[in-house]
A and B are shown apart, each in its own frame.
Chain A
Amino acid sequence: MADHVEIANLSKVFPTPKGPLRVVKDFNLKIRRGEFVSLIGHSGCGKSTVLSILAGLSDASAGGIVLAGKELTGPGPDRGVVFQSPTLLPWMTAMENVMLGVDQVFYTASREERRQIAEYYLTVVGLADAMHKRPAELSQGMRQRVGIARAFALSPKMLLLDEPFGMLDSLTRFELQQVLLDLWNRNRLTALMVTHDVDEALFLSDRIVMMTNGPEAEVGEILEVPFARPRRRQELLESPEYYRLREQLIEFLNVRAYTLKGQTPGQGHGPGTASHAPTPAAAEPTKPGANADHAALKKEPALKA
């Protein structure tokens, strides 16, 4: 099948007090229709930068993106975005938050049909009883469920997720990974997800794109995840193949993310080394396994969210 998404020679330069900083350089990636791709890399390497260009919230300095045969210009509801914080509008109920987008996309449908769409997705993410609550009355995990429902309810051409579970405790994170996977199994949207978490990437993705360190970060290696779908976490954890892939990811993050850019592992390169605040994920490693930052933490204690 033809590629659904094509990111070609994408570059992003930020003006900084010390002069222009080329954060991402010549980022190339093709994604097939219905494919779930994860983007993994050290904090500050430019993952969010790539994602927000895809979302149209930020302009590329060079290069371009083609989605379903059309060059992307600016934001639009043909891409469903889930951020780390769910960015729900606090004065609207969960239902109203989802409806805001549904009304935009399905404006030709009747009001009742639109309501049913929103209700369907809220029910699937497990919020049948909490639809009419405001974000303040919902737990962090429930809010992110609304965020996921809101993105899927648009029936977008592409789903963009930026560390969607990064702020959650590990138990809730497992729950929501399952929610996302279930929803995605019903409705195989083309997805690009940024994550820190090696296990999360392996559990959810068809392919894992590993980014080198910045500045001038680019695609380092791509890992195919061969596990059949639908997947069960337990089965994955019992497979030796899982641990081989996991080792490969950690090895990349600990060594080749640096060496590919001519850096020495553990020397504190790149802008990501400026802050000593550990990410929530790094502060609280998931069991079993670790996330990208945590894996790297053994040699590289200074990473930021």
Chain B
Amino acid sequence: MTFLKKIQWDALLMPLVGLVLTLLAWQLVSGRVTPQTQADGTVEEVKSGLIQDLPGPLQTWEKTKKYIVEPFAKREELDQGVLRFTWYSLVIVGKGYAIALILGTPLGFLLGLSKNFSKMFDPIIQVLRPVSPLAWMPLGVVIFANSGKSANELAALFTIAVCAMWPTVLNTAVGVRAIPQDYLNVARVLKLSRTKTLFRIMIPATLPYMFTGYRLSLGIAWLVIVAVEMLTGRIGIGNFLWNEYNNGLYTSIVLCILTIGLVGYVLDRGMSLLERRFKSAV
């Protein structure tokens, strides 16, 4: 009994307490708008509070309700439910992420398998890895400038893939280098063909590492999308955030941040479940 109580306390109540405290702090620092009747009879809004332009939790809820209660609504091009915007973003992230994995996994294998390949390309990878998506984006636009209508999308995919690829590349390489000699000896003793050794021994042995890379790559792909949408003007959650900022609707910014965070969290949990499955299988 007491054990059960303790679990519930820790797992449910404590995060709730944290949430309430955060909301309180948010309310405390945020600004308020109070209508005031002037001497001449007109009503003017007066701002007050620590950070005058930061909307508080209640104000955020009221102003952004329509995006939340009808999350998939499409009223106008720039006025859609928050999950509908999110969906647009997820689709493009999904494509870019797929490219990152398709390119990154074999690259990681080559790095892990060949010392010479590793010596040749590891320095370049280490230099390219820390480059921000904001820096890649213009290059993407230049590269795909002549691709007509899809130029924008290709530039976005290029940026996501190039930024998200590295954790997959590096973790796969580490995983390949960490394959126990015992497993490789099994392949040698049985004289397995190269293909068989790759698919029946090396890939299964590397899977847990690969999935760690895949999880980290997905996190980056999702981080990059906001920047990409801001720069290209593609419709999506990041683009929505940017437009609302330009229109002075600051409550939407908060909504977008929360949405992006939640989606990122869900993606990461999903991937780490998968990752654990493969860890326990090995």
- The answer for the CA separation of A206 and B139 in the assembled complex, in Å, is 75
Tell me whether A87 and B282 are in contact in the complex, defined as CB-CB below 8 angstroms, given that A75-B191, A77-B191 are known contacts: no
Chain B, 264-282, contact with A by CB distance < 8 Å: what is the 0/1 string?
0000000000000000111
Residue of B183, B192, B205 near A104 (CB, 8 A) is: B192
User: Is B204 positioned at the interface, with any CB of A under 8 Å from its CB?
Assistant: yes
Tell me whether A89 and B183 are in contact in the complex, defined as CB-CB below 8 angstroms, given that A100-B190, A101-B190 are known contacts: yes
Assess the B281–A57 pair: CB atoms within 8 A: no
Across-interface contacts of A178 in B (CB, < 8 A): none
Assess the A89–B191 pair: CB atoms within 8 A: no
Nearest Cβ in chain A — how far from B200, in angstroms?
A: 7
Assess the A90–B282 pair: CB atoms within 8 A: yes
Assess the B204–A91 pair: CB atoms within 8 A: yes
Residue of B182, B192, B200, B281 near A87 (CB, 8 A) is: B182
Across-interface contacts of A85 in B (CB, < 8 A): 182
Residue of B189, B192, B200, B207 near A57 (CB, 8 A) is: B189
Assess the A104–B204 pair: CB atoms within 8 A: no
Assess the B189–A75 pair: CB atoms within 8 A: yes
Assess the B200–A100 pair: CB atoms within 8 A: yes
For residue B182, which residue of chain A has the nearest CB?
A: A87
B residues 143-185 with Cβ under 8 Å of A? 182-183, 185
Chain A, 90-107, contact with B by CB distance < 8 Å: what is the 0/1 string?
110000000011001000
Across-interface contacts of B73 in A (CB, < 8 A): none
Chain B, 199-217, contact with A by CB distance < 8 Å: what is the 0/1 string?
0110011010000000000
Assess the B186–A89 pair: CB atoms within 8 A: yes
User: Is A55 positioned at the interface, with any CB of B under 8 Å from its CB?
Assistant: yes
The total of chain A residues at the interface (CB under 8 A) is: 20
The total of chain B residues at the interface (CB under 8 A) is: 17
- The answer for the CA separation of A79 and B186 in the assembled complex, in Å, is 12
For residue B189, which residue of chain A has the nearest CB?
A: A75
Assess the B191–A87 pair: CB atoms within 8 A: no
Across-interface contacts of A136 in B (CB, < 8 A): 280
User: Is B95 positioned at the interface, with any CB of A under 8 Å from its CB?
Assistant: no
- The answer for the CA separation of A299 and B162 in the assembled complex, in Å, is 65
Nearest Cβ in chain A — how far from B228, in angstroms?
A: 37
B residues 49-106 with Cβ under 8 Å of A? none
Across-interface contacts of B207 in A (CB, < 8 A): 91
A residues 95-129 with Cβ under 8 Å of B? 100-101, 104
User: Is A45 positioned at the interface, with any CB of B under 8 Å from its CB?
Assistant: no
Across-interface contacts of B129 in A (CB, < 8 A): none
Across-interface contacts of A75 in B (CB, < 8 A): 185, 188-189, 191
User: Is A81 positioned at the interface, with any CB of B under 8 Å from its CB?
Assistant: yes
Assess the B185–A104 pair: CB atoms within 8 A: no
- The answer for the CA separation of A87 and B192 in the assembled complex, in Å, is 16
User: Is A76 positioned at the interface, with any CB of B under 8 Å from its CB?
Assistant: yes
Nearest Cβ in chain A — how far from B191, in angstroms?
A: 6
- The answer for the CA separation of A85 and B282 in the assembled complex, in Å, is 16
Chain B, 29-51, contact with A by CB distance < 8 Å: what is the 0/1 string?
00000000000000000000000
Across-interface contacts of A100 in B (CB, < 8 A): 186, 190, 192, 200
User: Is A152 positioned at the interface, with any CB of B under 8 Å from its CB?
Assistant: no
For residue B281, which residue of chain A has the nearest CB?
A: A91
- The answer for the CA separation of A202 and B183 in the assembled complex, in Å, is 32
User: Is A165 positioned at the interface, with any CB of B under 8 Å from its CB?
Assistant: no
Nearest Cβ in chain B — how far from A265, in angstroms?
A: 35
- The answer for the CA separation of A87 and B188 in the assembled complex, in Å, is 13
User: Is A83 positioned at the interface, with any CB of B under 8 Å from its CB?
Assistant: yes
Assess the B189–A77 pair: CB atoms within 8 A: yes
Across-interface contacts of B192 in A (CB, < 8 A): 100, 104
For residue A160, which residue of chain B has the nearest CB?
A: B189
Assess the B189–A55 pair: CB atoms within 8 A: yes
Assess the B185–A91 pair: CB atoms within 8 A: no
- The answer for the CA separation of A76 and B188 in the assembled complex, in Å, is 7
Nearest Cβ in chain B — how far from A60, in angstroms?
A: 16
For residue A156, which residue of chain B has the nearest CB?
A: B189
Of the A-B pairs whose beta carbons lie under 8 Å apart in the complex, a sample of 22, sorted by A's number, is: A56-B188, A56-B189, A57-B185, A57-B188, A74-B188, A75-B189, A75-B191, A76-B191, A77-B190, A79-B189, A85-B182, A87-B183, A87-B185, A89-B183, A89-B186, A89-B204, A89-B205, A90-B281, A91-B204, A100-B192, A101-B190, A134-B281
* Complex A-B, nearest 4 residue pairs according to Cβ-Cβ distance, in ascending order: A87-B182, A91-B204, A75-B188, A75-B189
Residues of A that sit less than 8 Å from B by CB: 55-57, 74-77, 79, 81, 83, 85, 87, 89-91, 100-101, 104, 134, 136
A77-B189, A100-B186 are known contacts; what are 19 more A-B pairs with Cβ within 8 Å? A56-B188, A56-B189, A57-B185, A57-B189, A74-B188, A75-B188, A79-B189, A87-B185, A87-B186, A89-B201, A89-B205, A91-B204, A91-B205, A91-B281, A91-B282, A100-B190, A100-B200, A104-B191, A104-B192
